[in-house]
């Protein structure tokens, strides 16, 4: 459920024009570099070429910054290159040139990050786990020993008896991976199958609504073992292991505070969108679509063009066209689907994990997660586990109505404590007031913080100008015992309080087995209340629906 914490006056107010400076007269920008000149010439001739040229200028700048060791600035500049293309009218896939250029940029940026940034993105402060995909695809299975004939016959019989909604051949490559997952990787797969019970109902419901094959719900078994905290050497993140550029394309928010790739629900919605896009790009061939999910659509399309082959099994039978990881990825995914659909047949006893229920609290201002843990009587790890998209010790600055998950039955505890709290009790930020002439680089040096962190924490570019009097958050995790620390130089404001006369608003996400009657009884309201608040005709609700519940208020008062 969701409780809204109301605040008549916000204690934390950052200037909407924090990066604004004196108004200047327009100045003509004269291109200086060959890349800028080329982009300028293209702008006169073709708007698509203009976009491509602008993106290339940012990409080349990012390459230079990377070569100088400016990893954070390179990351921001690479983002700009991709954002230029993503803002194209009609979308990135509306033009073949845009689509191909975007895919090439993604491949090139990913390769650079793999060598220079893959030790971690340099910014995340929350713990993460190695993604299973790295270890699995590092295992070589194609030796000279054929899979056991008995297993081959068992897999063939299983495929004949089980209806799958994507084509699965019983060829030797697929059976080899069934043998591997059933043998050497048994413990890994058993853990993943058990963990999948937390997310499969949600994933299958989303895929069903999107018209996607439900067999694809098992892709995270190989990608991440269904771990939201999974992070690969290639900087892919979350249950679905989205790379940063692909996450951007699919609309997943990624900034200093939040990485929605780690949110199981949001990333599943994005994965459904992406899989449908790949399916269209490859003419309805799910094997090629899955190969491109791993290796990137641009790489697979180039391999098809070079080889003249449009069948994954023929394309991947030759080592010249696709990397081994992509050649192995598709049969491994298909093998995992085979076992996951009939685990007992392959010797697996899946032990379901209990799905932790939660309340959803709507926060009007940033809040320290340690305070949330204290007021709800749980550990900080429990709060973070419920909110894997949060990268920091706090909810996002400058965001009102942030929906924070807390353990079921604890929302009222947080609401009650918040109602009587003052600003110093909810956040522990360190602040800096900008003086005349100061720059981000200078402030970062003097305060010994990363310049890119300083910019991103304040929603600025690394080159953004500053205005005297502007308040900057210092991106430094608060030390133990600083939860009661004040705002320093940030000035004072009215205490942030919840209005005592306002009822708590709860947003409840419908789960499997729920009914309006059961939900109403659980929250001590009537079915008619639920129908009125949510404009429901009849009693039908679906898994994933979000129902508003006003605790302590009658429907007629709304």
Number of CB atoms found within 10 A of residue 147's CB: 18
Contacts 24+ apart (CB under 8 A), 314-320: 315/288, 315/291, 316/291
Closest to 149 (Cα-Cα) out of 115, 172, 182, 174? 172
Of residues 386, 379, 220, 372, the one with CA closest to residue 290:
220
How many Å apart are CA 418 and CA 324, to the nearest integer? 54
Contact call for residues 282 and 315 (beta carbons, < 8 A): no
Token output for 375? 């007021």
With contact defined as beta carbons under 8 Å apart, do 249 and 261 qualify?
no
Who contacts 381 (Cβ-Cβ below 8 Å, separation ≥6)? none
Which among 497, 500, 533 has a CA at the least distance from the CA of 516?
A: 533
Is residue 438 flagged as an active site residue? no
The candidate with the shortest Cα–Cα distance to 109, out of 145, 82, 136, is 82
Cβ atoms of 410 and 450 within 8 Å: the answer is: no
Residue with tokens 């930020």: 429
- Which value, to the nearest 10 degrees, does the dihedral of the CA atoms of residues 479, 483, 488, 494 take? 160
Number of alpha carbons in the 13 Å side-chain half-sphere of residue 307: 20
Residue 531 in 3-state DSSP? helix
Q: What is the DSSP letter of 500?
A: T
Residue 172: C-alpha distances to residues 55, 66, 144, 149, 169 (Å): 44, 44, 12, 10, 9
Q: Which of 179, 205, 223, 249 does the annotation list as catalytic?
A: 223
DSSP three-state, residue 534: helix
Give the containing element (helix H, strand E) for 3.
Answer: strand 2-4
67 in helix, strand or coil?
helix
Indicate the burial class of 14 (C-beta count within 10 angstroms; 0-12, 13-18, 19 or more): middle
By C-alpha distance, which of 189, 191, 156 is closest to 170?
156
- Residue-wise over 395-426: b if at least 16 C-beta within 10 A, else e? bbbeeeebebbbbeebbbbbbebbbebebebb
**Strand ranges for 31-141 from DSSP E:** 129-130
Three-state DSSP state, 549: strand
Indicate the length of the chain as a whole number: 558
Which residues are tagged catalytic? 223
């Amino acid at each position: 459920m969701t409780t809204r914490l109301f605040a008549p006056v916000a204690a934390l107010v950052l200037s909407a024009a924090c990066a604004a400076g004196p108004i200047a007269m327009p100045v003509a920008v004269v291109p200086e570099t060959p890349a800028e000149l080329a982009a300028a010439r293209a702008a006169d001739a073709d708007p698509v070429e203009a976009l491509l040229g602008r993106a290339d200028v940012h990409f080349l700048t990012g390459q230079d910054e990377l070569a100088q060791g400016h990893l954070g600035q390179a990351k921001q500049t690479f983002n700009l290159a991709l954002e230029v293309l993503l803002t194209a009218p009609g979308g990135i896939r509306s033009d073949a040139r845009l689509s191909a250029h975007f895919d090439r940029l993604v491949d090139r940026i990913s390769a650079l990050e793999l060598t220079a940034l893959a030790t971690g993105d340099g910014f995340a402060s929350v713990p993460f786990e190695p993604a299973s995909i790295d270890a699995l695809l590092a295992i070589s299975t194609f030796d000279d020993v054929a899979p056991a004939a008995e297993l081959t016959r068992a897999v063939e019989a299983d495929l004949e008896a089980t209806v799958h909604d994507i084509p699965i051949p019983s060829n030797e490559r697929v059976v080899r991976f069934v043998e591997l997952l059933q043998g050497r990787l048994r413990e890994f797969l058993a853990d993943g199958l058990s963990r999948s019970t937390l997310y499969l109902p949600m994933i299958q419901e989303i895929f069903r609504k999107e018209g996607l094959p439900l067999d694809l719900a098992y892709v995270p078994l190989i990608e991440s073992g269904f771990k939201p905290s999974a992070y690969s050497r290639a900087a892919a993140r979350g249950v679905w292991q989205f790379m940063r550029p692909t996450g951007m394309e699919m609309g997943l928010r990624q900034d200093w505070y939040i990485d929605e790739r780690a949110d199981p629900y949001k990333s599943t919605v994005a994965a459904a969108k992406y899989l449908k896009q790949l399916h269209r790009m490859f003419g309805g061939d799910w094997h090629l679509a899955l190969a491109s999910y791993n290796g990137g659509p641009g790489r697979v399309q180039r391999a098809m063009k070079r080889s003249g082959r449009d069948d994954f099994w023929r394309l991947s039978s030759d080592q010249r066209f696709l990397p081994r990881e992509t050649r192995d990825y598709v049969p491994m995914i298909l093998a995992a689907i085979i076992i996951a659909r009939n685990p007992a047949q392959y010797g697996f006893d899946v032990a379901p994990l209990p799905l932790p229920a939660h309340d959803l609290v709507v926060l009007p201002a940033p809040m320290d997660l340690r305070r949330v843990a204290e007021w709800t009587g749980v550990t900080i790890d429990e709060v973070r586990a419920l909110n894997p998209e949060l990268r920091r010790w706090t909810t996002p600055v400058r965001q009102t109505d942030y929906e924070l998950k807390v353990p079921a039955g604890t929302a009222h505890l947080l609401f009650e404590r918040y109602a009587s709290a003052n600003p110093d009790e909810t956040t522990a930020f360190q602040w800096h007031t900008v003086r005349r002439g100061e720059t981000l680089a200078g402030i970062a040096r003097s305060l010994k913080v990363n310049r890119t962190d300083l910019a991103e924490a304040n929603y600025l570019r690394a080159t953004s100008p500053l205005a005297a009097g502007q308040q900057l958050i210092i991106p430094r995790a608060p030390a133990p015992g600083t939860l009661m620390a004040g705002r320093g130089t940030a000035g004072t404001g009215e205490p942030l309080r919840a209005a005592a006369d306002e009822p708590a608003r709860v947003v409840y996400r419908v789960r499997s087995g729920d009914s309006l009657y059961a939900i109403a009884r659980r929250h001590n309201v009537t079915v008619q209340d639920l129908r009125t608040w949510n404009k429901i005709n009849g009693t039908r609700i679906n898994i994933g629906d979000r129902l508003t519940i006003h605790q302590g208020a009658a429907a007629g008062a709304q």
